[in-house]
Structure 1
């Protein structure tokens, strides 16, 4: 009988030591990035992450072609314009791969997109799009 009571008290002690981890994305500056139709035009967004434990962040895009951030915009007829995306604020600048980050009460990230192809008079008109995905794993 004493063993059961002691085990119960140990379990209660363990419960009080466990708490939910908390991570959140804050201060997003733009939900849509608009590039000009000129060679090397740029657009950026920034946001902060607050997390009370180590976490991983993963950046990806629908049209990503490699882990260094090469991607493309495509129109409704699937015509493509090359882009280059860069990450600052992370411990590495890898795409489509979790990047381990230390616990912090505010870590600022910036994602920059640059048009790497010169549109010409022969470039079909239309709305060119890509989707950017940011995943937090904690």
Structure 2
């Protein structure tokens, strides 16, 4: 189960009181109760925290994912707008193997001729692989004309 550090931080921030109470109860149990009963109670308390956190972490994780997706969509829109603005400054480097790299002050677009997809970096941050749309195609063509 791969969990984001932000998810854990948000969970701890929202549930710090429950965690503190559970730790106090665990310390009391460890100090006053003996052997088998002690460890049974520790296991029950630990299970409660794990079950409780699992539900909350899933909800928090979904919220973080939604916000991340929205941020990526906004960044993609900004990158496409930047392609329109910086197309005249675009410099293309074509390699012998059919790959190319287009650079502007804020963008880097790499791809393979005829592939239909490109990898986009905006301000040095990778935004993933995108299908070539009209805006990207116009950007590529303008970069080729600038050469």
Q: State whether TM-score is above 0.5.
A: no
Higher normalized helix content (fraction of residues):
2
Structure whose residues are more often strand by fraction: 1
- What is the TM-score with the length of structure 1 in the denominator? 0.29
Largest Rg, 1 or 2: 2
Please give the TM-score of this superposition, normalised by the length of structure 2. Answer: 0.27
